[in-house]
A and B are shown apart, each in its own frame.
Chain A
Amino acid sequence: MRLLVTVGAQMPFDRLIRAVDAWAGAHPGHAIRAQVGETELTPAHLDAVPFLQPAAFDRAYDEADAVIGHAGIGTLFAAMERGKPILVLPREARRRETRNDHQIATARRFVSRPGVVVAWSEDEVPAAMERLLSLRGAPSLSARAEGPLIDAIARFIDRS
């Protein structure tokens, strides 16, 4: 399968990249593109680049069968809007992977959505990868916010 791994634009996330690289070593035959950030790591089994420009990112999402990433809102939406299954490993503040544990909270909120798989630690990545690859697509999220939120903002704009 064609897989896209992404850690987002802000900081590297070597724990995720190591886990996916190890999995890929044990499961050859997949084409795995990885956006890894500014890191010393050179993954052996991933086609890794530090960053992707937004247009290239859009293309990489379009071409992937499934996505593996940190639990960032941008990453989740990019996959979900395209109906791509996604596996996320949340960044943890205690490991200095982010400034607070908002990704753990985000993952908790999204874990029940169809097409979303969460690995709560790097040890869970191999099992989560199997679940991810067993998903054949995911329901596409519409590209718009909930109706009541749109209405509240539109009404406010009209009245201003």
Chain B
Amino acid sequence: MRARPRKKILAISSGGGHWIELLRLRPAFEGHFVVYATVSEAYRAHVGDAPLVVIDDVTRWDRVGLVRSALQITRLLLAERPDIVVSTGALPGFFGVVLGKRLGAKTIWVDSLANVEELSLSGEKVGPHADLWLTQWEELAYPGGPRYAGSVID
């Protein structure tokens, strides 16, 4: 059997719960080269020797911030050229997936566990741009929508 080819993964999220959920997916990235992008320098301590790029945090109400964030993520994608983009949200991750897909990456969106009764707004809109679109709640999966494969909590 030939060894699995090593891929370059951009794992991107905002802070707090989104970041913790992303970290809990790490075993899936084993054997690949991972670049993390998140909103705080201090999270570097969580990823050991892996490279971490600090990006701006942004909410959907901050129009100037949205444009700036989209440009920043575009620059990041052009600099890193990942094979895979994976995100647990929120907006910076949404940009990572949407723009990453345009630049030829395969994209993974895992909607946050916090979205219990409905998908997040970014989660609803990200669907067509995610090659693997996952919800963590079985009842939120639907044909043509996100798939359920389990959650970040065991």
Known contacts A149-B149, A153-B25; A74/B154 CB under 8 A: no
For residues 113 through 160 of chain A, which have their beta carbon under 8 Å from a beta carbon of chain B?
Answer: 141-154, 156-158, 160
* Bound complex: CA A146 to CA B154 (Å): 5
The stretch that binds B, out of A12-20, A21-29, A33-41, A102-110, is A102-110
* Contact residues of A: prevailing secondary structure: helix
Question: How close is A11's CB to chain B, nearest CB, in angstroms?
Answer: 12
Question: How close is B129's CB to chain A, nearest CB, in angstroms?
Answer: 15
Question: How close is B144's CB to chain A, nearest CB, in angstroms?
Answer: 18
A9 near B: Cβ within 8 Å? yes
Most buried by B among A145, A151, A157: A145
Known contacts A142-B154, A149-B25, A158-B4; A73/B112 CB under 8 A: yes
By the criterion CB–CB under 8 Å, are B150 and A148 in contact?
yes
B17 near A: Cβ within 8 Å? yes
Contacting residue for B152 out of A58, A103, A149, CB 8 A: A149
For residues 77 through 124 of chain A, which have their beta carbon under 8 Å from a beta carbon of chain B?
Answer: 77-78, 102-103, 105-106, 108-109
Most buried by B among A53, A77, A106, A149: A149
4 cross-chain pairs, A with B, having the tightest CB-CB distances, nearest first = A73-B17, A149-B150, A146-B150, A105-B116
Q: A152-B134, A153-B108 are in contact. List 18 more A-B contacts (CB 8 A).
A: A9-B15, A53-B42, A72-B114, A77-B20, A77-B153, A102-B115, A103-B114, A145-B150, A149-B134, A149-B152, A150-B25, A152-B149, A156-B106, A156-B132, A157-B7, A157-B9, A157-B108, A158-B4
